Amino acid sequence: MNNPHILITGAPGSGKTTLFRRLIDEMRQLNPVGFYTAEIRKGRMRKGFSLCSLDGRTGMLAHVEFRTGFRVGKYGVDVRGFEAFLDGLPLLKSNTGPVMIDEIGKMECLFIADLKKRSDTQLLTLTRENQDDLLDHLVQRSNVQRFNNRRQRSDDR
């Protein structure tokens, strides 16, 4: 594979998180690891962000009430908690499949600019018009075969 790293960008509301969750479902048998962020809301007000690992663990990333030395906008960011959360992910285990991270932003990672420049990284832009095509492309690229809601790696056939 020439581009083992894939970054998906898109405008707000283009469906990046929806695509991410669909990819998790499609690639479950590949043993993916990673996380996504979820909004913490009180009524209509966003109060912060939680972390959700693909194995079901959760943590707090940022909140308006956090008083830390790290801020992104109105949110205090729990950097130590985030690092501890990442340390708990089995990123380097031998049976680890694709590493999948949704919503890489200022709070999550500052290395992304360097990753975009690497020759082994493919940058894809999601739009509402290409959602299904992009999902199909990524599933095909991952060597996953679809069979009426039953999925398997093509080399397991």
Q: What is the mean pLDDT of the chain?
A: 78
pLDDT tens column, 31-78: 888 888 888 999 999 999 999 999 899 999 999 999 988 888 899 999
Of 3-7, 35-39, 77-81, 92-96, give the lowest mean pLDDT range: 3-7
Q: Does residue 26 register a pLDDT over 90?
A: no
What confidence category does residue 92 fall into, taking pLDDT thresholds of 50, 70 and 90?
Answer: confident
- Residue 15 in tokens: 């469906």
Say which residues have a Cβ less than 8 Å from residue 157's Cβ, sequence separation at least 6.
145
Nearest 5 degrees, angle CA 54-CA 59-CA 64?
A: 130
Q: pTM of the full predicted structure?
A: 0.70
Which SS3 state, helix, strand or coil, does residue 139 take? helix
- Residue 61's nearest CA partner among 50, 46, 53 is 50
Which SS3 state, helix, strand or coil, does residue 69 take? coil
Say which residues have a Cβ less than 8 Å from residue 19's Cβ, sequence separation at least 6.
8, 126, 131, 134, 135
